[in-house]
Amino acid sequence: MAYTADGVEIPQGLSLMMAQDLETLNRFNAMSASERQALIDKARHVQSKAEMQQLVSNIGKAE
């Protein structure tokens, strides 16, 4: 289990993908608590590896 600084559990797939890219991890850590929670909620509904990769690649970028 992985947790954010806010004590919220991060889905394993999300944490594994972010761990592969320090810049992405830094962008995630720079987000507000509500932004991180929204991303975690999206990650919990991901259905494929490709979808998770897309979600992670967009962390911290304007939508």
pLDDT tens by residue, the chain, 63 residues: 666 667 788 998 999 999 898 899 899 989 999 999 999 999 999 999 999 999 999 987 755
Closest C-alpha among 21, 6, 9, 14 to residue 42: 14
Contact call for residues 3 and 35 (beta carbons, < 8 A): no
Measure the CA–CA gap between 39 and 58, rounded to whole angstroms.
10
pLDDT at res. 47 = 95
Domains in the chain, number: 1
63, part of any domain: no
Q: What is the pTM of this model?
A: 0.82
Range of the domain at 30: 2-57
23, part of any domain: yes
62, part of any domain: no
Measure the CA–CA gap between 43 and 55, rounded to whole angstroms.
7
33, part of any domain: yes
43, part of any domain: yes
